Chain A
Amino acid sequence: MKRLTDIICVFRIQLMSMRKEAGPFFLAALLFPAAMYLFARAVSGAEAASEQNRLRFLAGSIVFSLSLTSISWLGYLLLENRFTGRLKLFATLPLAPSSYIMGILVFAFAQAILGTTALILIGRAFGVHMQPNILMLGLVVMLTVLCLCGFGAIIAARARSFTEGSILTDALGVGLVFVAPVYYTTDSMPHGLQAISQLLPTAFAARAVETTLTGGYQVREPLLALGLMAIATLTLGFRLTKWRED
């Protein structure tokens, strides 16, 4: 019960402290991916007419939004807390570091749900035909956020400065989308990258989101991969986030 209260309090603190910036944060998580969807459609020319490609672009944009939310924005929050001394304030309390990260994760979930819903509505407005399997899509989004948040937490815990951390979270948030077969197929990638890129969490996420957008539920393999990656990155993120200095 105490842990749940702690998580909710940390979430509320983050939510209330973002009151002024909530608009730009949400816009940023929506605007870039929505623009990328339009860009991908435009540059793919005749291929954009294919329903399958439109769906891939939309799935890619959702993954892009999740990546920005989970790595770039969440990383930014964790870095800000660490380098402005707010983390020190939390450390004075009988609060577990994992409760603190979970509180921030809830904040990332809220952003992810908003961003994904908005992008689905945008997709519909642009004529993408889909029948999302909401339950499975929710599960995919949750595991993707957990996995990617782990990266944000690791960077925020290890960065030597705010600037270094921001650069790394931004680079990873965008990079993981563009070096993976998210907007384009694996065949169109350089040979050296093809095998590795398929193992990236964003590749699994894109595949799973695309399947669930068409109402499918054959996402066991990507879910398992995302789940394992989430356990690995979050465990490391929790271990590295310490109240106590050695």
Chain B
Amino acid sequence: MITEESLQLKPQRQGVNQVLPSALAVRTRGLVKRYKDGTVANRGIDLEVRRGELISILGPNGAGKTTFLRQVTTELRPSSGSVEIFGVDAIAAPRRAKQMMGITPQEAGLFESLTVEEHFQLFARLKNLSGAEARAAAAEVIESLGLSAEARKRISTLSGGQRRRILIGLALLGHPPLLVLDEPTTGLDPSSRRGVWGVIRRTVTDGAAVILSTHYIEEAERLSDRIGIIAQGRLIAFGTLDELLGRLERSYRLSYLDQLDPFGNICVCYFASFTEARAHAGREQLSEYSIARASLEDVYFTLTGERFAKGETEA
């Protein structure tokens, strides 16, 4: 039987360069979460994340994204299925699995009276870094996340966006080979968001695997190597941006202002070719319209069945 002790916890200080049991960062098979009240949050999710790869998970509210990430981070025990982190059974040996992870939960509280620097140093120690390593790791994260001016400030004096950056920084401490980030940039201003994107992308370049959930389609489009879409507890699509775009039969998007709509909503129609889209605009005698190749947003709305604008149709 595998126990935490028998697996001999490896210090996180070895970071992304540590010798890991498997090249596959995350491997889930048939992941199901059924709550006691009968609610089924996940219905058999199979996913593989490789080292040096960034995976984004998109999906509507309540689709099961956070449930999935919480199962990966060992916070939530799956009803059935398996989770392996670099080949380690995360259900049987959660602490061993967490040695290889940096985690940013969707919501977590910081200690109001502690300074930013103290947070990073103490949490780095809890990640098994030595005193000197912890100080160096804290300084590095503070610098990379643009928190130098706030380093000596207490958490109680910081804004929501700054607190969010600290939560991301805590995950980055010690260069873990896997980052699991649940909506990391929610609440950040555009400039901070781009800064965080840069930091995340750099960790991937350095060889780490990243799995993040987001509501920002632009974020998924810009950052990801592969994108997964979860709806009603199922992974309904998974692949590169091009592979996902290829799933659309009608990949041209015609947008125009609905003249009859008192609220001035934009109408969106999809066509198999540019010619078809232009012909439709001509038939409808549209004076102002645009035709573009479908984007990830179009794939998302088509696959999840969500409609964001009144009058959106498929031609």
Which residue from B98, B105, B108, B125 sits with its C-beta under 8 Å from A9?
Answer: B125
Q: Is A89 an interface residue (CB 8 A)?
A: yes
Residue of B nearest to A93 (CB): B126
What's the nearest-Cβ distance from chain B to residue A79, in Å?
12
Evaluate contact between A93 and B76: CB separation under 8 angstroms: no
Contact of A88 among B99, B108, B123, B128 (CB under 8 A): B108
By Cβ-Cβ distance, the 5 closest A-B pairs, closest first, are A85-B109, A92-B103, A84-B109, A17-B111, A94-B98
Query: A93 contacts B98, CB within 8 Å?
Result: yes
In the complex, how many angstroms separate the beta carbon of A16 from the nearest chain B beta carbon? Answer: 6
A245 adjacent to B77 (CB under 8 Å) = yes
Q: Given A20-B113, A244-B94, decide whether A92 and B118 contact each other with a Cβ distance below 8 A.
A: no
* Minimum C-beta distance from A203 to chain B (A): 37
- A-side contacts of B110, CB under 8 Å: 86, 89
Q: Residue A19 at the B interface, CB < 8 A?
A: yes
A88/B107 in contact, CB under 8 A = yes
Task: Give bound CA distance, A140 to B241, whole Å.
Answer: 66
Q: Are B108 and A244 in contact (CB under 8 A)?
A: no
Cβ of A6 within 8 Å of any chain B Cβ, yes or no, is yes
17 A-B residue pairs with Cβ-Cβ distance under 8 Å, sorted by A, are A9-B125, A13-B122, A16-B113, A16-B118, A84-B109, A85-B108, A86-B109, A86-B111, A89-B108, A89-B123, A92-B73, A92-B108, A94-B99, A95-B95, A95-B126, A244-B75, A246-B77
Interface size class of A (residues with CB under 8 A): 20 to 34
B residues near A168, Cβ cutoff 8 Å: none
Decide: B74 and A243 in contact? CB cutoff 8 A. Answer: yes
Report B94-122 CB contacts with A as 1/0, cut-off 8 Å: 11101101011101111111100010001
CB distance from B56 to the nearest CB of A (A): 20
Q: Which residue of A lies closest to B119 (CB)?
A: A13
- Chain B residue at smallest Cβ distance from A20: B113
Q: Which of A10, A93, A94, A96 has the most CB of B within 10 A?
A: A94
B162 at the interface (CB under 8 A from A): no
* Residue among B108, B110, B114, B167 having the largest count of chain A Cβ atoms under 10 Å: B108
A243 to B95, CA, bound (A): 10
A-chain residues with CB within 8 Å of residue B126 when the two chains form the complex: 5-6, 9-10, 90, 93-95
- Which residues of B come within 8 Å of A, CB atoms? 4, 9, 12, 70, 73-77, 94-96, 98-99, 101, 103-105, 107-114, 118, 122-123, 125-128, 167, 170-171
A18 within 8 A of B: yes
In Å, the complex CA distance between A88 and B107 comes to: 8
Residue of B nearest to A103 (CB): B126
Hey, which chain B residues are within 8 Å of A94, CB to CB? Answer: 9, 12, 95-96, 98-99, 126-128
Is residue A160 contacting chain B, with contact meaning CB distance below 8 A?
Answer: no
- The smallest C-beta distance from B75 to any residue of chain A, in angstroms, reads 6
Closest B residue to A14 by CB, please name it: B111
The complex places the Cα of A119 from the Cα of B75 at a distance, in Å, of: 43
Hey, what's the 0/1 contact readout for A104-125 against B, CB within 8 Å counting as 1?
0000000000000000000000
The 8 A CB mask of A68-108 against B (1 = contact, 0 = none) is 00000000000001001110111111111000000000000
* CB proximity of B18 to chain A, nearest CB, Å: 13
Give the residues from 1 to 44 in chain A that come closer than 8 angstroms, CB to CB, to chain B. Answer: 2, 5-6, 9-10, 12-13, 16-20
Given A17-B112, A88-B107, also A12-B75 (CB < 8 A): no
Give CA–CA (A246, B99) in the complex, Å. Answer: 21
A85 touches B112 (CB 8 A): no
Contacting residues, chain B, for A5 (C-beta < 8 A): 125-126, 128
Known contacts A9-B126, A16-B114, A96-B95; is-contact A91 B75 (Cβ 8 Å): yes
Q: Give, as a whole number of angstroms, the nearest-CB distance from B172 to chain A.
A: 12
Bound complex: CA A95 to CA B109 (Å): 17
Contact B170 A92 (CB under 8 A): yes
Using known A-B contacts A2-B128, A88-B108, A243-B74, determine if residue A19 contacts B94 with beta carbons closer than 8 Å. Answer: no
- Enumerate chain A residues within 8 angstroms of B99, measured Cβ to Cβ: 94
Q: In the docked arrangement, what's the CA distance between A96 and B99, Å? A: 12
List of A residues within 8 angstroms of B12 by Cβ: 94
Q: How far apart are the CA atoms of A16 and B105 in the complex, in Å? A: 23
User: Closest CB-CB distance, A160 to chain B, in whole Å?
Assistant: 15
Which residues on the B side are within 8 Å of A12 (C-beta)?
122
Question: Given A92-B170, A96-B95, A246-B77, does the pair A13, B111 have CB atoms closer than 8 Å?
Answer: yes
Q: Are A17 and B114 in contact, CB atoms less than 8 angstroms apart?
A: yes
Chain B positions within 8 Å of A93 at CB level = 98, 123, 126-127
Residues in A with CB closer than 8 Å to B125 are 5, 9
A5 to B114, CA, bound (A): 19
Within 8 A of B (CB), among A198-246: 243-246
Q: List A contacts of B109 (CB < 8 A).
A: 81, 84-86, 88-89
A18 in complex: contacting residue of B94, B113, B122, B128, CB < 8 Å: B113
Instruction: Name the residue of chain B whose CB is nearest to the CB of A10.
Output: B126
Contact assessment for A244 and B76 in the assembled complex, using a CB-CB cutoff below 8 Å: yes
CA distance A234 to B128 in the complex (A): 26
Task: Say whether A13 contacts B98, CB under 8 Å.
Answer: no
Instruction: Check A92 against B171 for contact (C-beta < 8 Å).
Output: yes
When C-beta atoms are compared, the residue in chain A nearest to B156 turns out to be A20
